[in-house]
Amino acid sequence: MALIYTDSNREDIDYVQKHWNIDFDIGLYNGGDNDFEITVPSEEWTDRFNDYSIVYDEDGGELGGLVKGKTSDTAQENVIIWGLTWRGIIKQDYIEPPDGQAYYEARGDANSFLRDVLDNYFDGLIVGSEELCGVDVNYDIRYINKLEAIEKTLEKSNLKTKIEFINGRAVVSAVNMISDIDVELSNDYGYDIMAKDLKNGINHVICLGQGELTERTIVHLYLLSNGTITQDKEQATADGIYGLYETKTIYDNSNAQDISELIEGGSDKLISNEKSLTINNVTGVDIGDVVNARDYITGIFMTKKIVAKVFSGCLDNLKIENKVGD
C-alpha cells in the first residue's frame, strides 16, 4: 500500500513515508469515527502538507481523506496531521426535501441516486459513479444525515457503498452486500477476536410518536435473546425480559411521519448497546458486509455487520482491525 499527500491545491507532494505512523478509522455512520491522523517527524514535515491537503491511496483504495488541522508535539518532535475520511466528509452534510415537498424521494438506479446527492456538494472531490448499478432504490428521506441516508437507501436494496479514488476524486458506487452467514469467523481459525457481551444493554424501548397525552402513538419494542425484535409482551416475558432482567429506555420522535418510521428509529436505539466483536486478519469482506462470528472461549456467537475498519501503525507494518457491530 502506498499513500500520497498533496498540497491544498491537490497537487502531489510526496508519498506518506513508511516510518510515519498512521491511524485511519473508516466505517458506517454509526460504526466508525471516520477520521484519521498521520504523525510526521517535525524535521520531515512541510507546511505544504496542511489544511485542505488530501491523502489518497495510489492504488485507488478507500484509504484517504481531507486534512482539517494539525497539532505540534514539541516534546515528541512530531507534527500530527488530522483530517476526515471520505465518509467523514459526507457525514458533515444532510439530505433535505426539495422546496414544497415532504421528502427527498430516492428513486431509480442506485448510482444515479448517488450522483444526485454527491456530485454538486463537495467541490468535485466526492462524486457518484457514472456507471449504472443495475439495481433500483426506493426510499423517502427527510432531514437525515447524508452518510446515514445513503446507507439506509442502499441497504433497502441489499447494497452497500464502495469508495475508490480515481483521477483525483473519491468515487462512490453502490455494490452488492455480502451476506456470507454460511462462513463462521472464529478464534479457532486464527482470527484475533475481542468479544463483548454486556448484560446492561437495553432490551425494552418505549417509542413515543405523534400526538398528545392519551392520543399519542406509543409502541413497545423488545429485544429477544436470539437478537430479534418483537412488540409481543408475552413473548418478551417468556424470553426472560422482566424484573431485574428488563432494562427500559425511551425513544421520543414526535416528528415520525408514520409508525414504520417510529419503529425503525426505536429499533436502532434498541440494538445500539448489544453484543459487539472486533476481528483482525479478515480478508474478503468489507464495510457493510454481514458475517457470522464466534468466540469459542466464552461461547459468544452472533451474526453481525462489518461496521468499521481501523488501519493503524506504519505502512510497512500495518494493523487492520474489523469492527463488527449492528
> pLDDT by residue for the chain (326 residues), tens digit each?
899 999 999 999 999 999 999 999 999 998 889 999 999 999 999 999 999 999 999 999 999 999 999 999 889 899 999 999 999 999 999 999 999 999 999 999 999 999 999 999 999 999 999 999 999 999 999 899 999 999 999 999 999 999 999 999 999 999 998 765 545 554 444 445 555 554 447 899 999 999 988 889 999 999 988 778 999 999 999 999 988 888 899 999 988 888 999 999 999 888 765 555 555 555 567 888 777 666 566 555 566 778 888 999 998 899 888 777 65
pTM to 2 decimals? 0.75
Query: Interhelix angle for 110-118 vs 146-155, to 10°?
Result: 170
Contact residues for 220 (Cβ-Cβ < 8 A; gap 6+): 204, 205, 206, 207, 231, 233
Residue owning grid cell 516510518: 19
Strand pairing partners for 109?
Answer: 136
Nearest C-alpha neighbor of 255 from the set 316, 197, 211: 211
- The pLDDT value recorded for residue 288 is 85
- Count other Cβ atoms within 10 Å, centred on residue 280: 14
List the one residue out of 197, 106, 204, 194 whose CA is nearest residue 146.
Answer: 106
